[in-house]
Amino acid sequence: MSLKTLPQAKAFERPSAYVWDTPSDALDRWAEKPNAAEADDPNTISIYEAIGEDMWGDGFTARRMAGALRSIGSNAVTVNINSPGGDMFEGLAIYNLLRDHPAQVTVKIMGVAASAASFIAMAGDRIMMGKGSVMMIHNAWGAVIGNRHDFSDAANVFETFDASMASIYAARTGLEETEVMAMLDGPTRASDGTYMTADDAIAKGFADADFEAPAAPRSETQTQTTSLRRLDAALAKTGMPRTERRALLGEVKGGTQDAASTVTPCADDWTDACARLIAAIRS
């Protein structure tokens, strides 16, 4: 498959009242997936965070992708993905950057490719899914704060955005756009979309083959990151907006070493405190 056969993603004007978020179920699945081993190849780009600047100023942005591609030059590139998605506007920009890359692009789904991350994956000449990995597509997702005009404008942008995504998914898979739109709606025509295993994605044309994804050795930093992801997903399921979760998790990340002994006197590190807080939220 040639990148030249894929439509370019239309550039949309970001609504002024738009705030991006990630569906809580995608966050939950991402939190449970172990980090994949980092590649040593300088021509490999790893997207292991949310798409767009996340709650700690990290996340994977179009600027990071552009910088990585500049350093790679006209060489073939491999893009490893384990991401719950995020900012749909950043996702479109990253897709276009990969689509326009002059050499072959191989995309490897290492754990989860949900929402905007699944859209980015479509830019690959070859898309491979690790055994046990998951891909999720759904309608454009985000929050809008403002008056009725803000909501109306955003709804128009989201509708056009969904049509653009459907045309690109259809071009990549060979499915009819109406079938793709039904998958974006999901079984309840709500915002939950459609989850696909590696076998499902390959059968429907969203991926080309599967592979054994190497697992990364567990480190203290990775354990802490997983705990924060699980906590974020649990808070999202309660309906807490991303801005509030960002503030709360920032406090947890910055002060849990001291808080652990107060919240959980028997805990030997701050991840135990997070685990107990998650259990309390879910109970």
Q: What SS3 class is residue 6?
A: coil
pLDDT tens readout for residues 12-54: 777 676 776 677 777 777 777 666 656 678 899 999 988 988 6
Sequence-ordered list of residues with C-beta below 8 angstroms from that of 149, at least 6 positions apart, any chain? none
**How far is Cα of residue 210 from the mean position of the Cα atoms in its chain?**
19
Greater confidence (270 vs 178) lies with: 178
Among residues 8, 53, 30, 14, the alpha carbon closest in space to that of 195 is found at 30
Give the pLDDT of residue 134: 95
CATH for the 3-211 domain, from 3.40.50.1100, 3.90.226.10, 3.40.50.720, 3.40.50.1260: 3.90.226.10
Q: How far lies 198's CA from each of 24, 158, 193, 212, 219, in Å?
A: 21, 28, 16, 11, 27
Give the pLDDT of residue 13: 72
Q: How far apart are CA 125 and CA 238, in angstroms?
A: 39
Amino acid at 214: P
Domain ranges of the chain: 3-211, 220-282
